[in-house]
Structure 1
Amino acid sequence: MHYNPQKIESKWQQRWEKQGLYSPDLDKAEKPFYNLMMFPYPSAEGLHIGNMYAFVHSDAYGRYIRMKGFDVFEPIGLDGFGIHSENYALKIGEHISDVSKRTEKHFYQQLKMIGNQYDFKRTLETYQPQYYKWTQWIFIQMFKKGLAYQRESYVNWCSQCKTVLADEQVIGGYCERCGAQVEKKLTKQWFFKITDYAERLLKNLESLSTRALGSKVKISKEMAQSGIDWSEKTKIAQREWIGKSEGVEFEMEILDTDQKIKVFTTRLDTIFGMTYAILSPEHPIVTLLLKTQNSRQGRSSPKAARIQNREEVEEYIKEAKKETESVRTDITKEKTGVELKGIRVINPFNKQKTPLFIADFILGYYGTGAVMAVPAHDQRDYEFAKKYGLPIKEVIKNKNGKSSVEKKAFENYGVLINSGEYNGLTSYQAIEKMITFLKEKKIGDKKINYKLRDWCISRQRYWGPPIPIIYCEKCGTLPVPEKNLPVLLPEIEDFRPTGTDSPSQVSQGEIWEGKSPLASVKEFVNTICPKCGAPAKRETDVSDTFLDSAWYFFRYPSLDYQDRIFDKQRTQKWLPVDMYIGGQEHACLHLLYSRFITMFFKDLGLIDFEEPYKRFFAHGLLIKEGAKMSKSKGNIVNPDEYIKKYGADSTRMYLMFLGKISRGGDWQDSGMAGITKFVRKAWNLFSDLKKDGKGILDLSFMHKTIKRVDNDLERLSFNTAIAKIMEYVNWYKENQDNFSKKERKLVLENLVLLLSPFTPHLSEELWEKIGHRESVFKEKWPEYDSELVKEEIITLIIQVNGKIRDKIDNIEADIFKEKAKELAISRQKIKKWLKGKEIKKTIFVPGKLINFVV
C-alpha cells in the first residue's frame, strides 16, 4: 500500500473546501470556541517555516477542541498594512499594491497547503477599504471622547525608512527593518491616551488566569492547574511596560531664575543626601535656558543664571538625540552627562544649592524628566558621582546603625541620619512627615507615575489607513464625518517616503517637519470643511499598523456586516477569544493595545467584557541547526519545499515534535526525514485490516495512551503527545499478530483519532480506509476507561532550597510539573517557606520530588 502524501493531501483539501467543513454557522453554533493565531504580515514573498511553526500548533489544538464537541471558528487574514510590507515592496522595486495582491494569493495558497482548518470564507486583509473604514471609525470615536489628540513629541526616526518607529521596531539603537541608526526628533504626532487606562490595564492582569476568566471548555483539573493561559512571564512583561510607581512629586527652584523643576521619587527619605540633580537632554527647561541665554526673558534678576558651557551642552544634546530609549537606559552602558555650569538647584528641605546636570539615561518623556540624585543610596547615581567626582552623602543606616557606601550604594530602607529634624525616624516615618512639609509649602504631594506613555499612532508613510482628520482655518481640527468613511488611500505611482533633512540638523527644541508621501497629492490633501464648507486640508499621516491589529479579531465573525464595526449579538456569542497563540515578542505592545481597544469598546457600550483573550499562549522561536534563521546566514527554511518533498502532515508533525512550544525548536533536516519515516510506519499498519488473531484481551495500554495524549493536548504539550503516539504504534507492532479483528479495528480507529490533530490529511484517508464515510473531524475524541488507567501511586517530596519541607502522599506517579507545582505551593507548610520570597527556579524530578529555589 503506497503512501502518496501529495495526492492524499490535495484530495482532502479539495473535499474540505467543497463541504465547507471548517465554516461553522456562527449564529447557530451551540458550543462556540474561537481559536485564533496571530495573523501574519506580508514582509516577503511567502510565509517562512517560523510562521508555520506557530500556525500548526494552534491548528492542532483547535482540531482537538473540535473533537471535544465544540463548534470551532478558526479564521485567518493578513496584517498587510504597515512598514514591513512597504519596505519589502521598496526593496524589490515594485509598487506596494501589486506586491500585496501577489503575496495575498501566495500566502493563502501556502496556508491551504499546510492543512489548517481555516475558514477561508472569512479572511480579512487590513489594507482593504471595507476593513480600514472601521479602523478610521475607531480613531474618530477616540477623537470624540478626547482620547485622540495631537502634540509635539520626541519620537524614534529612521532616516533611511523616513518614518517614525515604535519602540519595539528599534533594536539596539538601529531600525529593525533597514539597519540604519535611529534618531530622536521633535514633531507633531497623533496619540491615543492609553495612559488613561493604565490602572485598568494593570489591575486586570490579576484576573487573567484560567479559573478567574472561566472557559467555554470543560477543562480538567490538570488544565486548570497548569497555568498556561496567561503565563506569569507575559503578565510580568506587561506590568513592567506599564511600570507603576507610587511616590512623591515636588518642585525645586533653580537659583537666580523664576524656573522650577518637578521631581518624582519613590525615596523621599533620602532627600538630604541629594548632592546633584539631573535633567533629561530634551527637558523643556534646558531648551528654555539655552534659548534665553543672551536675553533677560524668563530671568528673575539682571544676575540671572546662565549656562557657561553652552557649546558643550548643545553638542551633548545633539548626540543624545541620535540614541534610542533602549540604548540610553541600558544598565550596562557607561553613564555619561554634562554639568550645566552656572546653574544650581535648591533643595527645599535644607536650602542647599546643588549642581545640575543633563544625562542621556534620564528620559524626558518618562515621569518628570528630572531626578534628584542621591549617590549614597542609588547605585546609578553612585556610579555617576564616582565618575564625575561628586560628593556622596550618607543619610540612611540600617536598623542596627550599620551601612557602608565605600564600594556601592546602600539602597535599603532604614533609619535617617544627617537629615536634620528627621534624624532617628525610620524611612517610612520620615516619608510621611516630609510629605506633610511639602503639602504645607504647597510644593509637592503623593503621586502615582506610570512608565507607560501615550500611544503614538502617526506614521509618515504611504501604506496605511489615512488618519480621518480635516484642518480648517476657521473651524479648527475636525473629524471626517462618519458617513464619508472610508477615507480612501489614493493610488500614487511614487509611494516612497519623502521626509526632509535629518532631525540631527534641526536645532534643539525646533519642530521637525517630516511629511508623508500623501502630502504631495493635492487631490487628496485639498478638501472641504465638513462644518463651514470652506476649503480645508486633510491630515497626511497614516495610522500605525499596531492599530490595525489591535481589533481584527472583533471583525472576523462580523465580516458580513457592512453597516457596523461588528454585530453585538454575534460578538457576544464568540468573544472573548478562547485561545490566542502568538510570539512572546508581541506579549507587550500588541496585547496591551488590543486590551486597551477592547476596554474602549466596552466604554462605548458595544460589548460587556473588557479583556479580549481568555487564554494567551506565547510560543518560542524556531531556529535552524543552532542558529537564528536569517537571509544573511542563508538558513531560511522555505516550508513549500518540505511540503512538496515530504508532505504537509510530516512537516506539521515534525514542527510539533521539535520540543516544548514555549521554548521553540531547532529545525534539523535529518529530523524531518525521521518523522516522515514514522508517518509511513503508521500508514503501513493499515495494510491488512481483516487479519484476525486470538485476541490480547488486555487493552489497558490503549486506554492509558488516550488519557496521556488527552492530558498533553490540554496543556499544549504537543511533542510529548506525539512521543506517546509513537509508543502506541510500537505497542501495536509488537502485538499485531495477536489482535482479534474487533480489537484491531478499535485500536487502529483510536490511533487515527489520536493522530488527527497532527496529521489531518493522513487521518482522513485512514478513517475512510477503515470504512467510515463521514470526516474524522466529525467524530468525538476517544474516551478511556478509568478503571484501566489507574497509575502507580507515590509520595512526592517537596523541597525549598534543597531541604525537605513537606510531602504529598498518594499521588499519581505520572503527575506533570505544572500540576505538581500548583499542588505544592498551595500547601500551608510550603506557603510559610515561600512567603516574601521569589521563586527563581523550579526543579522537578518526575515520580520523586519538586524543589523550589528561592
Structure 2
Amino acid sequence: MSNIYDYKAIEAKWQGRWDKSGVFRVERDRQKKKFYLLEMFPYPSGKLHVGHLRNYAIGDAIARRKRMQGFNVLHPIGWDSFGMPAENAAIANKTHPYKWTSSNIDEMRSQFKMIGVSYDWEREIATSNPGYYKWTQWIFAKMFDEGIAYRKKSFVNWCATCVTVLANEQVIDGLCWRCDNKVEQQERDGWFLKITDYAEDLLEGLKQLEGDWPLRVLTMQKNWIGKSFGAQVDFKIEGGGDITVFTTRPDTLYGATFMALAPEHPLSRKLAFGTELEEDVEKFIIKTVSQNTIERSAEGVEKEGVFTGRYAVNPLNNELIPIWIANFVLVEYGSGAIMSVPAHDQRDFEFAHKYDLEIKVVIAPDKKLVEESPEELALDGDALMEAYTGDGPMVNSGPFNGLDNRKEGMAKVAEYLKEKGIGERTVNYRLRDWGVSRQRYWGAPIPIIYCDKCGPVRAPDDQLPVILPTDVKFPENGLSPIAKLDSFTNTSCPKCGGPGRRETDTMDTFICSSWYFNRYTSARCETAMADREDVDYWMPVDQYVGGIEHAILHLLYARFFTKFLKSIGAVSVNEPFKRLLTQGMVIKDGAKMSKSKGNVVPLDDIVRKFGADATRLFILFAAPPERDLEWSDAGIEGSFRFLNRVYRLVTGNIESIKKGAWATESAHEKISEMPKDLSAIVRATHKTIAKVTADFDRLQFNTAIAAIMEFLNTITAYKFKDDKLSCAVLREAVEYIALLLHPFTPHFSSEIWEMI
C-alpha cells in the first residue's frame, strides 16, 4: 500500500460516491430528531475564493457531525441571484443578467462539489427563478391584503450611482452599502412594508434568542428598533393649527424655549408661505433634504437652521416659543418635530448658542458646570458651558418644583398632560417602515396593477408569478428597461377588467432572502410557499451561519417576515433561526479578502495544490470561528503536512491496525493489566475524545483540531509492539482520529475508515 497521500484521487473518489448514492438527500422522518443546518446562501458572483470558504466549511462541519450523532440533517444550498451587481455586470459585458447569473451559478456549483460540501442538491433554489419569485410575490400580495404593504410619497435614500432607492438599513455612515458612494434624499412614490407594526414583537423575540445568538447582534437589533418611553405633547401654533411632538423628557417641558421641525415635515413650507421668510426657508429645505439623514444627525456636524417667522405656545406655561427648521431633526423619528430644551440637550444647546436663543434651566445642575459663578447664578442658562443632561430637582417648573425629575417628575408631568388633554405617555421606536421599491430591472416584479378606477390592485394568485420580461434592452442611464416596455406595463385591471398598467419598480432583493429558509423545506412544492407538514417539521433553522454584516439587514428582515407568515397561518414558528454563529472575516495583507481589494486567493488554485480537506482544515484551525482569520500560506502547508502524517501512520501500520480489530473491546477490559505507557495511550485517546467533543459543542473548532494534532504527536512518539493489546490500542486510536477528523476532513477520514 502506497504511503503517498494522493488527495486528488481520494477526493474525486468520495465525491463521486456521495453524488451517485445521494447520501445527503433527506426527507421528513418523524422517527428521527431533525437538525436544520443552514449557511446564508451566496450571491452568485463568479468564482469562490478562500474567503468565501469559511462560512461553508463551518456549516458543513456541523452538518456532518450531526449526521454522525444520528440526526436527520437538512443541509441545503441555493442562490440569492437577483440584484444590481448582476445587472451592472451584464450591461458591462453586453449580455443578459439571466445568462450571466446562470453561468456563475454553474461555476460556483462545481466549486462547492469540488470542496465536498454535503448539500442536498435536490433542494437547490435560485431567487431569480419564476418558480421561486412566484412565492415572493405571493407574500407581498398577502402583505398588501393585510395592509402591511402600502404605497406613499416620502423622502427616501437615493444612490445616484446605483440609480435606485435604498432602505435606511442599507445606508452605512451616509454611504451606499453596495457602492460606498454618497446617498442623497429625494422625494418619491414607493412601496413600503410596515415592519413598525412588528416592532414590539421583534424586540420581545430577542429575549427568546438570548444565549443562542451573539450578544453583539442582539444589541445591534435592539438599538436599531430603538424603543423609547416618553410623552406625546400637543403645541398650539399662534394663529391656528398645532404641532405634536414626542419627547423622552417630559420633565424638561418648562425649559422648551424653541421648537424645531425636520425640513421634510409637512408644515415646514406652510409656516413661512407668503411671508418675507419664504425664500430663505425654501433655500434651506432644498439644501438640507439633499443631504442624507446619517450625515445630518452625526455627532460633530454643525447644527444649522432657519426661522419660520411663526411661534408655538408652550402648553405648560403658555409662553410663545419660536418655530425653527433644523438640519438635525429627522422626519422619520417621532413626529418629525421636537421641543428644544437647550439647557438639558447638547444639540439644542449648540443650536441655541449659534442663533442666540433663550436657555432656561429646569433641572438644577451641579455647580461645577457653571463657569466660576456664584451659587445664585447656578440657574442662569447663559452661564452654562454645556447642556446639563443629568438628574436633579426640578426648578422653574411651576407646580413641579422640587420634584426629583427622574423618580417623580416625568410621571407627574405626563399625568398632567393627559389630565388637561394636551398629551399623554407613549412609546416611540427608532425603527422605520421598510421602503422596498427599487428602480432597477433584475429583481422580482412587484405584483401590483394600477387602475384609474380601482386604484392599486394586487395581481390575483392565479396570475402569479408576474414574469420579469427577458426580451429587453438596457438604456445607458441605468434605469430599468421595463419602465417603457408596453408589452409588460399594459394589462387589464383584475377587479373591473378595464385598462391597467403594471408597477415597473422591482422589489428590494432583501425580500427574496427574508423567507428562503422556508422554501428549502419543500423546494419543489407548486401549491404553496412550502408544504405545511414539511415546514412545520424542519423549521426553525437549528444552526444558522453567516457574517456579522447581516445583523440588522437580513436577520431583522427575516425575523419580520417569519412573524408575518405566522400571523397568516403559513408557518408555526415565531423565530426563524434558533442558534446563530457569525464567523469572522478572512484577512490578507491587512484587509478583508475581496475582489475589489485585489487580495483574493482563488479557491481552485489552493485546492489543486493542497486538496479540499487540507484547505478546510486550515480554515477551521487557524482561528476561533467568531474571530477574523489571517490567511497564511505556511499555515495551509502545515495542515497538509498533518494529514500526510496521519496517512503515513495508517499505511505504515495497516497490518497491525487490522490485526487489532477483533481485540479492541477486550483490550478495554484488560487496561489494568497493560503496561503503564500503553494504558496511557488509551487514556489519551479518551481524553482527546472528551476534549474534541466539548470543544465542538461550543463550536470551537480550532481547539478541537489542536487536540487531535496533539494526540497524533502522542501516538507517533510511541513505539507500538505487535502483540494483540498493542494492536487493539493502536486501532482504537486510529479509528477515533478518523471519526474526530470527519467533520473537518470528510474525504480523508472516509478513506482512512475504508482502509482500516
TM-score over 0.5 for the alignment? yes
What amino acid is aligned across from residue 101 of structure 1 in structure 2?
S
SS of corresponding position for 1:471:
strand
Gaps (5+ residues) in structure 2? 371-382, 661-673
Matched, 1:370 2:337: yes
Cα distance in 2 for residues equivalent to 1:74 and 1:261: 54
Q: CA offset at residue 401 of structure 1? A: 8.8
Matched, 1:454 2:436: no
* Cα distance in structure 1, aligned partners of 2:413 and 2:169: 39
Q: How far 1:28 sits from its partner (Å)?
A: 6.0
The residue number in structure 2 matching 1:797 is none
Partner of 1:524: 488
Distance 1:341 1:363 in 2: 17
Q: Does 1:549 align with 2:513?
A: yes
Shift of 1:204: 1.5
Provide the residue aligned with 1:847 in structure 2. none
SS in 1 for 2:687: helix
In the alignment, which residue of structure 1 is the partner of 2:665? Answer: none
Cα shift readout 1:82-103 (whole Å, capped 9, x = no counterpart): 2233233334443211101101
Alignment partner, residue 470 of structure 1: 449
Matches within 5 A, 1:506-521: 516-521=480-485
Q: Distance in 1 between matches of 2:614 and 2:625?
A: 17
RMSD: 2.1
Query: Aligned-pair distance for 1:329?
Result: 2.4
Instruction: Tell me the SS of whatever aligns to 1:582.
Output: strand
The alignment partner of 2:243 has SS state of: strand
* Contact kept in structure 1, 2:137 and 2:444, CA below 8 Å: yes
Give the aligned partner of residue 627 of structure 2: 663
Q: Output the CA distance in 2 between the equivalents of 1:479 and 1:40.
A: 30
* Kept in 1: contact 2:448–2:456 (CA 8 A): yes
Structure 2 counterpart of 1:326: 294
Is the CA contact (8 Å cut-off) linking 2:167 and 2:434 kept in structure 1? no
Q: Which residue of 2 aligns with 1:260?
A: 242
TM superposition shift of 1:339:
2.4
- Residue 393 in structure 1 maps to residue 357 in structure 2: no
Distance in 1 separating the partners of 2:291 and 2:529: 40
1:286 alignment partner in structure 2: 268
Equivalent residue for 1:507?
Answer: none
**1:656 shift after superposition:** 0.9
Match of 2:380 in 1: none
Q: Tell me the alpha carbon deviations over residues 273-295 of structure 1, each in whole angstroms, 9 at most, x when there is no partner.
A: 222222112111113235xx23x
Give the drift of 1:117.
Answer: 0.7
Residues 321 and 89 (structure 1 numbering): CA distance in 2 closer, same or farther, change over 3 Å?
A: farther
Residue correspondence of structure 1 range 5-44 to structure 2 within 5 A = 5-27=7-29, 30-42=32-44, 44=45
Aligned with 1:697: secondary structure? helix
Identify the residue that residue 746 of structure 1 maps to in structure 2. 732
In structure 2, what is the equivalent of residue 354 of structure 1? 321
Does 2:359 correspond to 1:381?
no
Q: Output the CA distance in 2 between the equivalents of 1:387 and 1:726.
A: 66
Instruction: State whether residues 153 and 187 of structure 2, in contact with CA within 8 Å, keep that contact through their aligned partners in structure 1.
Output: yes
Counterpart mapping for 1:703-852 below 5 A: 703-738=686-721, 740-770=726-756
Give 1:434 deviation, angstroms: 2.2
User: What is the DSSP-based 3-state SS (H/G/I as helix, E as strand, rest coil) of the residue aligned with 2:140?
Assistant: helix
The residue type paired with residue 360 of structure 1 is N
Matching residue's letter, 1:735 = Y
User: Following superposition of structure 1 onto structure 2, how do residues 41-440 of structure 1 map, counting pairs within 5 Å?
Assistant: 41-42=43-44, 44-209=45-210, 227=211, 229-256=212-239, 258-289=240-271, 293-294=273-274, 306=275, 308=277, 310-331=278-299, 333-340=300-307, 342-397=309-364, 404=370, 406-427=384-405, 428-440=407-419
**1:462-501 → structure 2 map (5 Å cutoff):** 462-496=441-475
Displacement, 1:341?
5.0
Change (3 A) 1:668 1:355: farther
Distance 1:409 1:250 in 2: 22
- 8 Å CA contact 1:252, 1:261 repeated in 2: yes
Judge conservation of contact 2:164–2:440 (CA < 8 Å) in 1. Answer: yes
Among the aligned pairs, what percent are the same residue?
Answer: 45
Identify unmatched segments of 5+ residues in structure 1. Answer: 210-226, 295-305, 500-514, 771-854
8 A contact 2:720–2:730 mirrored in 1: no
CA deviations 1:63-93 (Å, max 9, x no partner) are: 1111111111100000001223323333444
Please tell me whether the aligned partners of residues 462 and 496 of structure 1 are also in contact (alpha carbons under 8 angstroms).
no
Counterpart for residue 683 of structure 2: 700
Deviation at 1:359, TM superposition (A): 2.5
CA distance in 2, matches of 1:312, 1:719: 63
Aligned pair partner of 1:690 in 655, 660, 666: 655
Q: How far 1:372 moved relative to its partner?
A: 1.4
CA distance in 2, matches of 1:486, 1:736: 69
Q: CA deviation at 1:498?
A: 5.2
Aligned length: 719
Cα distance in 2 between the residues matched to 1:392 and 1:645: 71
Alpha carbons 2:133, 2:444 under 8 Å: kept:
yes
- Equivalent position amino acid for 1:563 in 2: T
- For residues 336 and 312 of structure 1, the distance between their equivalents in structure 2, rounded to whole angstroms, comes to 17
Structure 1 distance, partners of 2:280, 2:637, is 64
Q: Deviations over 1:313-336 (max 9, x none)?
A: 4333333233323322222x3232
Deviates more, 1:322-331 or 1:486-495: 322-331
Amino acid at match of 1:159: A
TM-aligned CA deviation for residue 478 of structure 1 = 1.1
Q: Which protein has the bigger helix share?
A: 2
- Tell me the residue number matched to 1:569: 533
With over 3 angstroms needed to count, the CA separation of the structure-2 counterparts of 1:82 and 1:244, relative to structure 1, is same
Cα deviation digits, residues 202-243 of structure 1 (max 9, x gap): 11211114xxxxxxxxxxxxxxxxx3x212211111111111
Contact 1:154/1:186 (<8 A) preserved: yes
Structure 2 CA distance, aligned partners of 1:242 and 1:667? 36
| Superimposed CA distance per residue, residues 359-389 of structure 1 (whole angstroms, 9 cap, x where no aligned partner) | 2222111111111121221223233334444
CA distance in 2, matches of 1:32, 1:673: 37
Amino acid at match of 2:190: Q
C-alpha separation in 2, matches of 1:206 and 1:678: 43
SS of residue paired to 2:654: coil
Deviation at 1:397, TM superposition (A): 2.4
CA distance in 2, matches of 1:470, 1:603: 25
Structure 2: distance between partners of 1:621 and 1:386: 45
Check 1:57–1:572 CA distance in 2 against 1; reply closer, same or farther (3 A cut).
same
Q: Name the SS of the counterpart of 2:234 in structure 1.
A: strand
1:632 offset after TM fit, Å?
4.8
CA–CA distance in structure 2, aligned partners of residues 520 and 145 of structure 1: 30
Number of the residue aligned with 2:664? none
